[in-house]
Amino acid sequence: MGRRVVALFVLALVILGTCAGCSNPPEGSPDWYFNRGYDLANQGRYEEAVEEYTKVLEGNPTHTIKVQTYINRAAAYASLKHWEEAISDSTEAINLEPENTLAYQNRAMAYNAIEEYDLAIADFSKVIELDNTIAEAYVHRAYAYLNTEEFDKAIADCTQALEIDPEQIFAYYNRGLAYKGLGLTEEAISDFEDFAALTDSPAWADMATQEIESLLEEETEPEETD
């Protein structure tokens, strides 16, 4: 395996909202703790959110709330960079609902974060098998493919993501890296230019510009002669 690819990976974990039909649940009930956990997570208070979600599971939640709690606690753990706990909770949700795309997606994100790319690819592939319209799954599977140097697959996933949702701009950057990995300079520059034009982040735009400048420098370097 060659060097690790520095692709753009944005942690975009899924957090489910307050439970349906329980906008004003009894204080101290699992639904009440669930809503508190959700509110705390939205405020960025992830450690406190984990505590509230744990109280849900210590009670007697319905099947649906139990699954949602594992998904949300996994997202909170991931936000704290507690990857193993995030993976464990996502797995619990999958065991309860084997076709839950959100649980697979969150677990795959955690696998990407700890560089377990083959496991991430397997989980994102399951998401796509269950629902092939989730653009984010293609974007993040492409990130994993970049890091396993499967550049053709990364290009295909980024292209599919953009067909589903043209606003998935990180697909441009990561596809540019895949083209670069294959030595397709013109295509890579085009994608980096598109990303730089579309992103609202000056730092990310600068990253794309640096990639373009690096490619142009490589093109103008004189070839070595024997």
- One-letter amino acid identity for 75? A
Report the amino acid identity of residue 12.
A
Alpha carbons within 13 angstroms on the beta-carbon side of residue 59 total 21
Check whether residue 67 and residue 142 sit in a common domain: no
109: tokens are 């994100």
* Token code pair at residue 23: 């906008």
Least confident of 3-12, 58-67, 139-148, 217-226: 3-12
* Residue 125 and residue 136 in one domain: no
Q: Is the pTM of this model over 0.95?
A: no
What would the pLDDT profile of 126-184 be if each residue is shown by its tens digit? 999 999 999 999 999 999 999 999 999 999 999 999 999 999 999 999 999 999 999 99
Q: Do residues 27 and 113 both lie within one domain?
A: yes
d(CA 98, CA 44): 29
Q: What number is the average pLDDT over the span 185-212?
A: 96
Rounded-to-integer distance, Cα 105 and Cα 118, Å: 14
HEC sequence for 73-86: HHHHHHHCCCHHHH
Closest alpha carbon to 63 in 95, 37, 38: 95
Residue 44 is part of a domain; what is its CATH number? 1.25.40.10
Q: Give yes or no: residues 125 and 21 share one domain.
A: yes
In a domain, 22, yes or no: yes
Residues 117, 189, single domain; the answer is: no
When divided into structural domains, the chain yields a total of 2
**72-83: average pLDDT:** 95
